[in-house]
Structure 1
Amino acid sequence: MKLDQKDIQILSLLQKNARLSNKEIAAELEIAASTCHERLKRLTRDGFFKSFNANLNLNKLEFNIEVMISIQLNKHEREVINSFIKNVRKINGVIKLYHMAGKTDFMLHVAVCNSNELRSLILDELTKFNYIGHIESSMIYFHDDINQLLIKPQ
């Protein structure tokens, strides 16, 4: 499916605020609400939206520390990688999981309440995996979701 400028504008608006109503999007784009609704249905049907999520304020929820944890495996077999992914999804505090190319095999974005929770996550959870060769953590001071649409009209 080819995207035109209006489709791209819809995607961009929803990427910045997924709570916008059809009516609000249509007004912003200066198109009829029915036209906007049909475009949204088509974009959804054609798989342009992976999901609609709430971006939570972690500090309000008392998750005061965010960390990126880099992990190097000492085995790179598909079975090991699949097992790691499956088991990391069960660890409380892991927000995002990235499978990487290069020196680091995985990056985990983690949120915890305090340094004791972080220590426990690393020492009690991650060290259970006997195929992890190296773990390194880096505290996040600040992050921002830029939410810029990275596609051009076709």
Structure 2
Amino acid sequence: MLDKKDQQILTALQENARISVSDLANTISLSDTPCLRRIKKLEKEHVITGYHASINPKKLELNVLVYAFIRLNQNSVSAADLFEQSIEKLPHVLECSVISGSYDYLLKIIANDLESYEQFVKHRLGSLSCIANIESTVVLKQSFTKKQLPL
């Protein structure tokens, strides 16, 4: 269970993962060593799983965001394993979730434009024999995205 200080550390790191331990310790009224000890404990317990830069996709000409619903041609462990291993290797797939309902997976995919997404579907997803059906939903506008988890 996380105590108040751990929650304060996580909140501060979600806002700025590059904050120095000294500044973080000051912010939450701890000295440096106990603060660092808590951070290391949170990392060891896999509460903190990494530190990342937030990059604007538009600056990299990645202008299209698509959610693709995937149905596999068979509901088996081997088909799921093959699909997941294949999808994980594709850099344009940002997220892969197992879902309930009519489809087996939901993918979050980023592409330069609709033409490049079409090529991705035809040549990358379409080449996977384990896929029976793909239904795509193009995001017209992303109102907001949150990077911080509620603590």
Is the TM-score greater than 0.5? yes
1:93 aligns to what?
92
Q: How far 1:146 sits from its partner (Å)?
A: 4.6
More contact order relative to length (CA 8 Å, sep ≥ 6): 1
Over the aligned positions, Cα root-mean-square deviation in angstroms equals 1.6
Q: Structure 2 length normalisation: TM-score? A: 0.89
1:148 aligns to what?
149
Contact 1:66–1:139, Cα closer than 8 Å, also in 2: yes
For each residue in 1:8-46, what CA deviation from the matched residue of structure 2 results, as whole angstroms up to 9, or x when unmatched? 111122123222221221121121122211111111122
1:11 aligns to what?
10
Count of residue correspondences:
149
The 3 A distance-change label for structure 1 pair 102 and 20 is farther
Contact 1:11–1:149, Cα closer than 8 Å, also in 2: no
State percent identity of aligned pairs. Answer: 27
Contact 1:7–1:39, Cα closer than 8 Å, also in 2: yes
For 1:94-133, list aligned pairs within 5 A: 94-133=93-132
Contact 2:83–2:130, Cα closer than 8 Å, also in 1: no
Deviates more, 1:13-22 or 1:113-122: 13-22
What amino acid maps onto 1:52 in structure 2?
A: Y
2:77 aligns to what?
78
Q: Structure 1 length normalisation: TM-score? A: 0.88
What amino acid maps onto 2:27 in structure 1?
A: E
Give me the whole-angstrom Cα distance separating, in 1, the residues matched to 2:67 and 2:15: 24
**Secondary structure of the equivalent of 1:59?**
helix
For 1:133-144, list aligned pairs within 5 A: 133-140=132-139, 141-142=141-142, 143-144=144-145
For each residue in 1:102-152, what CA deviation from the matched residue of structure 2 results, as whole angstroms up to 9, or x when unmatched? 2221111111111111001111111112332221111222141251334xx
Segments of 5+ residues of structure 1 without an aligned counterpart are none
Deviates more, 1:125-134 or 1:68-77: 125-134
The 3 A distance-change label for structure 1 pair 45 and 90 is closer
